[in-house]
A and B are shown apart, each in its own frame.
Chain A
Amino acid sequence: MNIPDYISSGNIEAYVLGLLGEEEALELERLCLEYPEIKAAVQETESALENYAQLNAITPPKHSKKQIWATINNSTIDKTAINSESETIRFQKTSQLYTYLAVAAALLIFIGLPYHFIKMNQYKAEISTLKKEKIEILAQNKTFQAQIQNASKELDVLSNPATRNVFLAGVAGYENNEATLYWSNSGEVFLKANLPQLSIDKQYQLWAIVSGKPVSAGLLDQQANTLLQKMVTIEKAEMFAITIEKQGGSIQPTLEQMVVAGKPL
């Protein structure tokens, strides 16, 4: 930064005359802080112009001095008075506003409390119902899962090509009855029966004829009549048959009460 060059650039004169652009003026003010020579040049120019202004001075009318002083004092007093007054009014207005707000809040609480109490009880009841439902649904879910597992096991057995289908046809007098038996390689027996409802003291029983002797292959659940039921595992059998027995089943089949029978192919 060449200070003499800057001082003779005309910027200082332009600044004091108010001709310098905003950016240049800001720069000059900054330079004044940094370089005392520039500041001194500005001050010199300012006082030269101040002297010039004084040379051009025109005395105002005599009464002016007192009049202006009176106005200054009046206007200061008036302004302060007005200010403090409006301040008080504003304060009063604000405190009134706060009162209204407080009353409104109290009313809201007063009206709101019983409402919320009722609502809360409703919600509590709803929550306990939902909890019960949830437990039930979970239980159902477990049942379904078990059923699905069973079903998939059964499906495995049924879809296994080694599983044999044994058709049990209705014997004389029970021509409309029939049942199908699925017999896996490992001897698992599944039965799907289509048999008429029995009286409460009677029950269907499946028999396997092994080496000419009847062996119980389990009782049928009449409730699950049309569903596939898992029966007792039978490894070998020449024939299968279902008889009507007393509730709880029999050790020996009542052959007169045979409804369906069939041989594995």
Chain B
Amino acid sequence: MQNNPYNEIELIVLLKAKDERAYNYLYDNYSGALYNVIIKILGEREETEDVEDVLQECFIKIWKNIDYYDINKGRLFTWMLQITKNTTIDFARSASIQKEKKTNRLENDSPIIENKRVTFLYTDHLGLNTVIDSLRKEDKQIVDLAYFKGFTQKEIADELKIPLGTVKTRARKALMLLKNILKSN
């Protein structure tokens, strides 16, 4: 899918040396996925400038804290995703506080601007839209809420109005399906 000139260990060595090649690789390969996560958490209506600011903050954090990344604890992307989720959720909280102070000036946002962002899906030219589409809506929902938005088990149960115990079972089922689809592609 992406050109991969470095294996993960080489990449981490370059990252820890603060090499610009490492940054280029990191940005080229992961900025899109992280950008999507930020939009998912902040909501489609968020100003592009805010999303960019948060993305920048995330990359700075990743860059500065790379020494804390422990290769034994999981993949680099999982670690970057965690930083991105935390940073974005923090931003959303402080932003919502500010918004409340502004007496809900943006309450009547026009729904027209919802589609103002042009989104490029890597999936399009590879026909992978079908991959995602072939996941059932409820399976996709559960993965998106947990993985992209950082919802807890209870928050998901509340959001989807399903029993707490069902969340884990359904998450496993969704991931099994996802694995199979990815394999067959």
List chain A positions with a Cβ less than 8 A from chain B: 8, 10-11, 13-14, 16-19, 29, 42-61, 64-65, 67-69, 71-72, 75-76
Q: Check B31 for interface membership: any CB of A closer than 8 A.
A: yes
Q: Are B55 and A53 in contact (CB under 8 A)?
A: no
Q: Are A44 and B179 in contact (CB under 8 A)?
A: yes
Q: Report the Cα distance A61→B50, complex, angstroms.
A: 12
Show 17 A/B contacts (Cβ-Cβ < 8 Å), sorted by A: A13-B168, A14-B153, A17-B146, A19-B146, A19-B152, A19-B156, A42-B74, A45-B179, A46-B77, A46-B78, A49-B78, A55-B122, A57-B36, A60-B31, A64-B31, A65-B24, A69-B23
Q: Check B98 for interface membership: any CB of A closer than 8 A.
A: no
Q: Are A68 and B121 in contact (CB under 8 A)?
A: no
Q: Report the Cα distance A60→B33, complex, angstroms.
A: 10
**Which of these, B23, B64, B122, B147, contacts A17 with CB under 8 Å?**
B147
**Which of these, A51, A57, A67, contacts B182 with CB under 8 Å?**
A51
Q: Are B78 and A58 in contact (CB under 8 A)?
A: no
| B32 proximity list for chain A (CB < 8 A) | 54, 57-60
| A44 proximity list for chain B (CB < 8 A) | 179
**Contacts A50-B75, A76-B18, A76-B64 supplied; 14 other A-B pairs, CB < 8 Å:** A17-B143, A17-B175, A19-B153, A49-B178, A50-B77, A53-B148, A54-B33, A55-B121, A56-B33, A56-B121, A58-B121, A59-B31, A59-B120, A67-B52
Chain B residue nearest in CB terms to A42 = B74
* B120 nearest CB across to chain A (Å): 4
**Which of these, A19, A42, A49, A50, contacts B168 with CB under 8 Å?**
A19
* B66 nearest CB across to chain A (Å): 11
**Which of these, A52, A60, A68, A76, contacts B143 with CB under 8 Å?**
A52
**Which of these, B23, B59, B178, contacts A52 with CB under 8 Å?**
B178
| A47 proximity list for chain B (CB < 8 A) | 75
| B36 proximity list for chain A (CB < 8 A) | 53, 56-58
Q: How many A-B residue pairs have C-beta atoms within 8 angstroms? Tell me.
A: 142
* A196 nearest CB across to chain B (Å): 112
Q: Report the Cα distance A8→B179, complex, angstroms.
A: 14
Query: What DSSP secondary structure best describes chain A's contact surface?
Result: helix
Q: Are B77 and A68 in contact (CB under 8 A)?
A: no
Q: Are A10 and B168 in contact (CB under 8 A)?
A: yes
* A257 nearest CB across to chain B (Å): 121
8 Å CB contacts to A: which residues of B1-58?
Answer: 1-2, 18, 20, 23-24, 27, 31-33, 35-37, 39, 48, 51-52, 55-56
Known: A58-B120, A60-B35. A53 touches B81 (CB 8 A): yes
Chain B residue nearest in CB terms to A54 = B33
Q: Check B119 for interface membership: any CB of A closer than 8 A.
A: yes
Q: Check B132 for interface membership: any CB of A closer than 8 A.
A: yes
Q: Report the Cα distance A59→B48, complex, angstroms.
A: 12
Instruction: Give a binary string over B126-139; 1 marks a CB under 8 Å from any A CB, 0 the rest.
Output: 00100110000000
Q: Are B56 and A71 in contact (CB under 8 A)?
A: yes
Q: Report the Cα distance A52→B128, complex, angstroms.
A: 10
Q: Are A10 and B172 in contact (CB under 8 A)?
A: yes
Q: Report the Cα distance A67→B147, complex, angstroms.
A: 28
Chain A residue nearest in CB terms to B155 = A19
Q: Check B60 for interface membership: any CB of A closer than 8 A.
A: yes
Which of B81, B172, B182 has the most A CB atoms < 10 Å from its CB?
Answer: B172
* A86 nearest CB across to chain B (Å): 18
